[in-house]
Amino acid sequence: MSEPLIGLDVGTSGVKAIAISPDGELLGTAEESYALSTPRPGWAEQDPEDWWLAAQSCLARLPDGPLGLSGQMHGLVVLGDGGRVLRPAILWNDQRTQAECEEIERRVGFERLVALTGNRALTGFTAPKLLWLRRYEPDTYASIRHVLLPKDYVRFRLTGERVIDAADASGTLLFDVAQRRWSGEVCEALDIPLEWLPPSFESTEVAGAGDQAAAALGVGIVAPGPLSVVLGTSGVVFAVLPAYAPDAQARLHVFCHAVPGTWHAMGVMLSAAGSAAWLRRSLRADHAVLDGEAAAWEPGTEGLLFAPYLAGERTPHPDPDARAAFTGLSLRHDRGALWRAMLEGVAYGLRDSLELLRSLDATPEVGRVSGGGARSELWLRIVASVLGLPLERMESEEGSAFGAALLAGVRAGVFADAAEAAARCVRARDRIEPDPAWAELYARGYDSYRLLYPMLRALERR
């Protein structure tokens, strides 16, 4: 029997590791959680030692085999002499760097930044965090010798190597995404030493990728055509592009994909299943009960709309100050109506990203859906009808760790390339088709939904 392939994902709430066979059969799993530190409002940090301890614990419970790594993107790990961690890592969901983002766009120029990196400066990215350290923790900044991202710190502890893959490096705002290498121009404009940054490779060369690229590989997104739709805490719509093509307004993220020589674009809404978790807590009922009550309402819930901006928004509105709202409430609306309007509002938010992807010449034929929200049959039927695409659920629900295991197999020579890995190991479990009658109603509902954001922002400015 061939040795198993191991995938390890360094997430925000914990580490997950899996072992699979070369045919994609799940052989074992292990998970370890850790805390998130919020020392001030809007801050988010973690101790890299927690990742390392959790990774060790997970790997000890699985068989040995080729290892692939995925992980939360954008987090800043700074090392001093001897590989010493200088301070807690600043994570992707940290919001302290708005002034530094404005400084980056001023120094580089907005259009030039987007052309080089595929993105605008956002608070979650790595580069603004370095500028923040330089301004507010100059002693720490002066001690920096190496910069790593979360999963690559775990790799460093495992192997002593300081390397990164193009997919994860794309999220630093220091990477020339078109040329798939560090950007000397951006680093010079920001006065960030290139020697701090680890050598970059393709994901298949080092068996590593950022979590979204790894998760997309794990559901077989290796070329233009299928779309990855993630109904996690945040919502992601992800497509491989026929060529490097950033959105001129940077409303989408454009990164190198884990498949060499390819790029992907993705829209990210910050509160997808997060909206469901918030409303379920507020209504004090479980998902199954609320889905049953929501199913009694017709699509559109008699004009009730939900704007899902509970934590600000990223796509298509890069606005950390955006806020959520229900509009169109009447005496007839009950908690089932609220629940259905929430499900529909998130689906409309995903549609925003899909329309932007189409503007970059993405031509999706089917969506492959994952995340906790994919367990709701009603929600999947709504999303399929709003997007106008059939949705497939895959046999494996192991997400980024599964994609990391496939990368381990490519690096080890078990698979010739990422396409063969997906063909051998990724299989659909079922398929949800759009409802034609619902799709017609939702087309009109989406037109109304698109009016919500400018209306809400106008009210907030008064």
> CA 163 → CA 58, 147, 201, 220, 394, distances in Å?
22, 10, 8, 25, 31
Q: Which residues contact 234 (CB under 8 A, 6 or more apart)?
A: 268, 269, 270, 271, 272, 274
Q: From the CA atom positions of the chain, what is the Rg in Å?
A: 21
Chain-centroid distance of CA 332 in Å reads 37
Chain-centroid distance of CA 327 in Å reads 29
- Output 174-178 pairs: Cβ under 8 A, ≥24 positions apart: 174/117, 174/126, 174/127, 175/117, 175/200, 175/256, 176/116, 176/117, 177/116, 177/117, 177/118, 177/119, 177/244, 177/246, 177/254, 177/255, 177/256, 177/263, 178/115, 178/116, 178/118, 178/244
Q: Looking at the DSSP assignment, which residues form a beta bridge with residue 181?
A: 176
Q: Give me the phi and psi of 24, to 5 degrees please.
A: 90, 5
What does the block give as tokens for 128? 């603004």
Chain-centroid distance of CA 334 in Å reads 33
> In angstroms, how far apart are the furthest CA atoms of the chain?
68
Q: Rounded to an integer, what distance in angstroms lies between the CA atom of residue 317 and that of residue 36? A: 26
Half-sphere exposure of 385 (CA within 13 A, CB side): 22
- Catalytic annotation, residues: 211
Q: Which residues contact 55 (CB under 8 A, 6 or more apart)?
A: 8, 10, 15, 17, 32, 154, 157, 158
Q: What does the DSSP assignment read for 273-311?
A: HHHHHHHHHHHT--HHHHHHHHHTSPTTGGG-EEE--BT
Which residue, among 188, 246, 220, 174, has the nearest Cα to 369 in the 3D structure?
Answer: 220
Q: Looking at the DSSP assignment, which residues form a beta bridge with residue 325?
A: 307
Q: Give me the phi and psi of 359, to 5 degrees please.
A: -70, -15
Q: Rounded to an integer, what distance in angstroms lies between the CA atom of residue 271 and that of residue 10? A: 21
Segment (H or E) for 131:
helix 126-136
> CA 238 → CA 87, 102, 222, 264, 319, distances in Å?
33, 27, 11, 7, 20
